Structures are given as structure tokens and as C-alpha cells.
């Protein structure tokens, strides 16, 4: 009996499988069918035929079904294309003809003459086809042709008259991408088709001086991606008249430009430009008012600009800009010297901002950066290393509809973080470090009528604190929760690791504590343990703790750059002994000058040879805003260091303790401690050099804060 049932089950399974395969076969027949003497595949629904042959066996145009309107003829052998060759195509209402990689050598002048319905003609991957032959063939092409695609032919040049035969035609689109063109002269090439609207010249070795924009008065879009352009081309003639008065879109992606400024995009030359793309370029800096002169610019694409290091104060100044994509540029917003907090203050109409895959990290930095964007509707902050969101970050952005925060390091959010965003309908929080979601975390949903929330791929904890969220996911009906339940997986405790939250079967009764004294004992034991750990950590990391306290006191009243910075030649004068110069050049110099853009005066580098050392010390100190003193045992024993220390104390007496930044590179032994150094350390705080990823970052935060702190507001000594 059991064997019979098993056999029946197998028989039914085989029938299901057989039926499924037949369905797939029938669907394939509906989607495509063999045609054209068996060389082609035709799709009735799309009215498309594709003719390809193995080993280039096909050398003619076979008869095709009458419904075919577009033909891709690729990988065949067609050395001579004649009018008679296309006789079978004249029986069709052919609107699109794609001739790709057919080893064409000759094309008769009247080859395309009878294709009276042709709208798009493409000839590609035919490297041996001569440009002069093509020119004669285009002379008799149907006047109905609107699009001409001549890409991947590796042509070094095209004759000046190649498009002359299109005079009076409807051609508005020409694509010459993926060739080897080293120049493009609009004066000659476009003489007969001045009403061209779209020109694609991507992937050609063109430089900015090899492009002539004459005869492009009606151009809407120009694409010059991945060329040899090293500076923005000139879009005006010698009299200041625009070559491209109607241009709407300009693509200069993957160029070799190093920087851009206002002179590159004058408004009189591009009066109607509303979309500009500079993505994947080598630009390292964007100067003030670069885009301010473009009166109708709405979309600015600066994606994947990984060499970008500096954004000037007015870099994005634009009254018309609505969308900015700076995604995947790896820009380090953690370095304050590379941009200004008011970076977006002068883009009042911005409603779509993408900053994904840049380094922001700090929630306070994000809040300050977004403060002026009150009209924002979409914000993409995916993978920005954000570890928290400052309270009130989005409170001013009442028009926000979409917020993307996935792929960060968020552990949670303030209960009121989104409660004021009455227009918010989509929120992405997947891929963070969220372990527990409680009732207060999602109370805002009912207030703002959120339609979509993504909390997938977070390391959820299957604990009693998660019961409410588990039940909410199962019962929520008025909101879309994507990827539930498959990607809502527990990662703790160990017994629930990698199990779906939906299978977490604890009840309220299971979570109710039977003996309260056990809970009290556990809490007290935990408190004692934590206190012991804190004492041990503080004792073993005393320099780091000292640095933290110093940084807190430095920032207690905030700091800004010195107002009178223009009076000094250097930001800092560095005092160090010869033994410590290796650290000064390898670490101090490379960090402060290269990463934070401070200008240091280092005696061994900046002093003039042969001049009085004492005189130069006084002169260079006067030319420096602040003095950095790098202390160690060798420093305490160096006579010149002591001389410079006395000069530094004169500066302290005149300008206060903020005039000097003290760095303890290595602790000074008691026997080497001089009264001058001891007195200085007693009255002033100092930063202690500590290695380690977090400790080193903290050290540089202190040094930068001390350098930028204004005079007259001394920190309290530790």
C-alpha cells in the first residue's frame, strides 16, 4: 500500500514537470518564432526580426513575415550591399534597419533608396567600410530617416560631405560614438543639416580644441563622454555669441578635467542648459559660482568623482538648481577644511539630493549640511557611514517624500525624528545595525501616513523587547514592508541566529519575570562589573582619556577659523628637535597639510640657508598664526628648542594660551623636566600622541580644534 502511494506521488510529480515544460515551450513559441529561411527569429508582438548566422553563412536578406517593422542583421557576410540586395525589405513597412558586423566593403549609392518607411538606420562594427562610400549611400537615403547611428566602426575620420546627402531630410539624431575620430568640424560636417538636435560623440579621442560647434543652433543634446577633453570647450564665438543657444543637455562624463570654474560655463553661451553631467571625471575641486551663471540649470550630475577634494564656499551657488547627484564620489565630509557647512545655503530650490556612498559619519555634520534645504523632497544618504541622526535633522524639510538611509551604521533614531514630515511616504532603513524596534520607534507612522518602510537586513535581536515589532509586522496591512519575512532575520541571541523573526515564538507569558529578586541581583551585578571595566579602561588608556577631556573643553564654546588669517603667511610654526623630525614630516606634515590644508612652517624645510637662525625663528614665528610645540625627552635637552620655547612664551603673554598648540609626542622623564616646561604644562592643556584608529582620529580632532580656536578663549587646563 505504501509503495503504491509513493509511486502515485512520483507519477503526479512527473506529470506536473511535463506540463510545466510544455508551458515554457508554448510561451517561447508565442514570444519568438523561426523565420527568414531559418536564419532569423521573429517576434510578432514587438514586430522585430533578428537575423544572425553561424560562421557568416547568411549573405542575403531573406523573406520575412509582413508584420516585421524592425530588422537587426548582425554577424553575417555582406561585402557588397546593393539596391537589389534589399529587394525583400521593400515589401515590408520597415522603420528600423540595424546592420551590425557584416564585413561590408561597398554600399551602392542607391542601396537604401527604396526603403521609404525607414526612420532609423544603424551601421556599426564595420571597420573596413570607407567613409566616402558611406557618404554616397546616404545621399539617396529616404527623407523619412530621423535617426542615424554609425558607432563602433573605428573610423579615424569621416569626409566633410558625409552628411550632405541628408539635406532636406528629417534627421535630428546622429550617433558617432565608439570611433577613433580626432576632430569634429561642425562648420563642414553639419552644413546641410543645421537643424540637428542630438549629437553623440562618446568614446572618441577628441580634445576640447578639436571640436567646432558651428551649425548647431538647434542642438538640444550633446554627449562627449569618455573623450580626451581636459578643459571645458568654448561654447561662444569671438563676439560672445553662443554656438548652442538652444542646448538643453550636455554630457562631459569621464573626462580628464581637473577643476571647473565659473569661466567654464558662462550663461550667455549656454542660456538654456538645464542638465549638465560631469560624472566619473578627474575633477579635484569645484570653485565658487561655477554653475551660478547658468540661468535655467536644474539637473547637475557629479556622480563617481572619486578625486574630488575641495568644494568652495559657493561651489553649488545656483538659484535654479533642483537636483544634485554627488553619489559614489567618496567625498570626506568629515574633513571640515574641504568644504563649508553652508555648502547648500545658496541652492534655495533644491528638491532632490543624492549623497550616497560619501563619508559623512557624524549626525551633527549631516544636520548642519542639510539645514538650508527646506524644499527637499527626496534625500539619498545610502552608505554614508552614518552612526547616528542628530535630533531635528529633518524638521525643516516639510516637503520630504522619500528618505534613503540604508547601508549605514544606525542603531536607532529619536522617536520624533520623522514625526513632523507629514508628506513622507517612503523610508529606507535596511542594512543598518538596528537590533530592536519598539512601539515608540514607529509611532510616527500613524501621524504621517507612511506608505512604505524598509527595515530588512538588520541584525535583529529575538528577545522579549522584540515581541511588539514581531506582531506589528504580521498585522500591519496599511503599509508596505518589503522583503518580509525572508530578510527579517535574527542575529542574537546565539540560539536564534539566522532564524527568521516571524518564527520567534515567545509569548508575553514567557517573557514575564517570575522572581523579581533575580532581576535585581542581575542588575546590581552588571553595574558592579561595568564600573570595574570602566576603571580598568580609564587606567590603561589614560592618554586617550586625557585627550577626550581636552577635546570636550576645546569644543565647549565652539570654535571657528581665525578672522585675521590673511595677516599671516603660515597657519602654524612647528617647534621640534632633530630626533623628532621624522615624525613631524611623516605624520604631522602629511596630515595637517595634505588632509586639512593647513600651511606649516618647518624650520629645517622653510629656513633660508646661511641666514641667522635666531633671526629667522623670530621672523617666521611672527608670520605664523599659531605655534605647534612637539615635546619629548630629546626636546627638553635641545638648546634651540628651549630658545624657541621662550619665544613661544612671549607669544602666550601677548595673545594668550591659544597661541600655542602643545603636543606630547613622548612623555618627558622627571630628570629631563625643566622648570619652564613644567610651568607650561601646569598652565596649559596638551594633546598626547596615541596610535590606534580611534585614538589617532581623536588626536587629530584635538590638534585641528586647537589650531582653529580663536584667541582670547583659553581652554581649562587638565
Q: What is the pLDDT of residues 237-248, one digit of tens each?
A: 989 999 999 999
User: Which residues, given as ranges, of the chain have pLDDT below 70?
Assistant: 1-30, 513-522, 535-566, 712-718
Per cent of the chain over pLDDT 90 is: 66
Q: How far is CA 301 from the centre of its chain?
A: 10
Report the alpha-carbon distance of residue 51 to residue 97 in Å, rounded: 11
Instruction: Determine how β-strand 275-277 pairs with β-strand 299-301.
Output: parallel
589's CB contacts (< 8 A; 6+ apart) are 600, 602
Rg (CA), the chain: 35
Report the alpha-carbon distance of residue 207 to residue 21 in Å, rounded: 56
pLDDT at residue 561, rounded to an integer:
42
Report the alpha-carbon distance of residue 599 to residue 494 in Å, rounded: 53
pLDDT at residue 609, rounded to an integer:
79
For the question of whether the overall pTM of this predicted structure is more than 0.85, the answer is no
pLDDT at residue 411, rounded to an integer:
93
Read off the pLDDT of residues 252-266 as tens digits, 9 standing for 90 and up. Answer: 999 989 999 999 999
pLDDT at residue 714, rounded to an integer:
45
CB count, 10 Å around CB of 645?
21
pLDDT at residue 562, rounded to an integer:
43
Residue 140's region, left for phi above 0, alpha for psi from -120 to 50, else beta, is alpha
Amino acid at each position: 500500500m505504501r509503495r503504491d502511494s509513493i509511486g502515485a506521488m512520483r507519477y503526479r510529480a512527473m506529470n506536473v514537470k511535463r506540463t510545466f515544460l510544455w508551458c515554457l515551450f508554448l510561451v517561447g513559441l508565442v514570444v519568438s518564432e523561426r523565420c527568414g529561411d531559418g536564419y532569423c527569429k521573429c517576434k510578432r508582438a514587438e514586430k522585430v526580426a533578428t537575423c544572425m548566422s553561424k560562421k557568416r553563412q547568411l549573405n542575403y536578406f531573406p523573406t520575412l513575415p509582413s508584420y516585421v517593422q524592425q530588422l537587426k542583421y548582425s554577424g553575417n557576410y555582406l561585402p557588397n550591399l546593393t539596391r537589389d540586395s534589399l529587394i525583400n525589405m521593400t515589401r515590408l513597412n520597415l522603420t528600423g534597419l540595424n546592420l551590425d558586423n557584416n564585413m561590408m566593403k561597398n554600399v551602392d549609392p542607391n542601396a537604401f533608396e527604396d526603403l521609404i518607411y525607414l526612420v532609423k538606420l544603424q551601421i556599426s562594427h564595420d571597420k573596413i567600410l570607407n567613409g566616402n562610400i558611406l557618404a554616397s549611400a546616404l545621399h539617396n537615403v529616404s527623407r523619412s530617416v530621423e535617426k542615424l547611428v554609425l558607432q563602433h566602426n573605428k573610423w579615424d575620420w569621416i569626409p566633410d560631405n558625409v552628411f550632405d546627402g541628408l539635406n532636406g531630410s528629417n534627421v535630428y539624431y546622429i550617433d558617432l560614438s565608439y570611433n577613433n575620430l580626432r576632430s569634429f568640424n561642425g562648420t563642414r560636417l553639419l552644413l546641410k543639416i543645421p537643424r540637428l538636435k542630438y549629437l553623440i560623440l562618446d568614446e572618441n579621442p577628441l580634445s576640447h580644441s578639436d571640436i567646432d560647434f558651428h551649425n548647431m543652433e538647434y542642438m538640444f543634446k550633446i554627449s562627449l563622454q569618455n573623450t580626451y577633453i581636459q578643459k571645458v570647450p568654448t561654447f561662444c564665438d569671438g563676439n560672445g555669441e553662443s554656438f548652442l543657444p538652444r542646448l538643453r543637455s550636455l554630457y562631459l562624463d569621464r573626462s580628464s578635467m581637473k577643476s571647473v570654474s565659473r569661466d567654464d560655463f558662462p550663461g550667455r553661451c549656454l542660456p538654456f542648459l538645464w542638465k549638465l553631467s560631469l560624472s566619473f571625471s578627474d575633477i579635484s575641486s569645484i570653485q565658487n559660482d561655477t554653475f551660478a551663471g547658468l540661468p535655467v540649470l536644474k539637473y547637475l550630475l557629479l556622480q563617481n568623482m572619486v578625486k574630488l577634494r575641495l568644494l568652495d564656499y559657493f561651489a553649488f551657488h545656483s538659484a535654479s538648481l533642483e537636483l544634485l547627484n554627488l553619489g559614489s564620489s567618496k567625498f570626506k565630509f568629515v574633513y571640515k577644511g574641504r568644504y563649508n557647512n553652508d555648502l547648500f545655503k545658496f541652492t534655495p530650490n533644491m528638491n532632490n539630493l543624492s549623497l550616497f556612498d560619501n563619508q559623512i559619519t557624524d549626525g551633527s555634520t549631516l544636520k548642519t549640511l542639510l539645514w538650508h534645504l527646506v524644499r527637499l523632497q527626496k534625500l539619498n544618504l545610502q552608505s554614508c557611514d552614518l552612526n547616528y541622526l542628530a535630533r531635528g535633522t529633518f524638521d525643516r524639510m516639510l516637503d520630504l517624500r522619500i528618505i534613503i538611509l540604508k547601508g549605514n551604521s544606525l542603531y536607532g533614531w529619536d522617536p520624533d525624528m520623522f514625526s513632523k514630515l507629514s508628506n513622507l511616504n517612503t523610508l529606507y532603513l535596511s542594512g543598518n545595525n538596528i537590533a530592536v524596534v519598539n512601539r515608540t520607534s514607529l509611532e510616527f507612522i500613524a501621524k504621517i501616513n507612511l506608505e512604505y518602510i524598509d527595515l530588512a537586513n538588520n541584525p535583529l535581536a529575538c528577545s522579549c523587547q522584540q515581541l511588539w515589532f514581531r506582531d506589528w509586522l504580521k498585522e500591519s496591512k496599511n503599509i508596505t514592508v518589503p522583503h518580509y519575512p525572508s530578510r527579517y532575520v535574527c542575529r542574537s541571541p546565539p540560539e536564534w541566529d539566522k532564524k527568521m523573526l516571524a518564527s520567534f515564538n515567545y509569548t508575553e507569558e514567557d517573557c514575564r519575570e517570575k522572581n523579581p529578586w533575580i532581576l535585581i541581583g542581575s542588575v546590581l551585578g552588571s553595574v558592579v562589573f561595568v564600573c570595574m571595566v570602566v576603571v580598568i579602561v580609564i587606567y590603561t588608556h589614560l592618554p586617550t582619556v586625557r585627550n577626550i577631556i581636552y577635546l570636550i573643553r576645546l569644543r565647549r564654546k565652539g570654535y571657528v577659523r581665525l578672522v585675521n588669517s590673511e595677516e599671516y603667511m603660515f597657519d602654524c610654526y612647528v617647534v621640534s628637535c632633530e630626533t623628532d623630525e621624522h615624525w613631524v614630516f611623516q605624520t604631522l606634515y602629511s596630515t595637517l597639510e595634505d588632509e586639512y590644508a593647513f600651511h606649516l612652517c618647518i624650520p629645517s624645510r622653510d629656513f633660508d640657508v646661511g641666514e641667522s637662525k635666531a633671526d629667522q625663528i623670530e621672523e617666521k614665528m611672527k608670520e605664523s598664526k599659531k605655534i605647534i610645540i612637539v615635546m619629548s625627552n630629546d626636546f627638553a635637552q635641545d638648546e634651540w628648542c628651549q630658545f624657541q620655547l621662550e619665544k613661544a612664551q612671549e607669544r602666550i603673554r601677548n595673545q594668550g594660551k591659544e597661541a600655542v598648540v602643545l603636543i606630547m609626542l613622548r612623555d618627558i622623564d622627571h630628570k629631563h623636566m625643566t622648570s619652564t616646561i613644567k610651568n607650561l604644562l601646569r598652565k596649559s592643556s596638551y594633546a598626547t600622541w596615541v596610535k590606534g584608529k580611534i585614538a589617532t582620529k581623536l588626536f587629530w580632532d584635538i590638534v585641528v580644534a586647537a589650531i582653529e580656536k580663536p584667541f582670547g578663549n583659553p581652554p581649562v587646563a587638565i
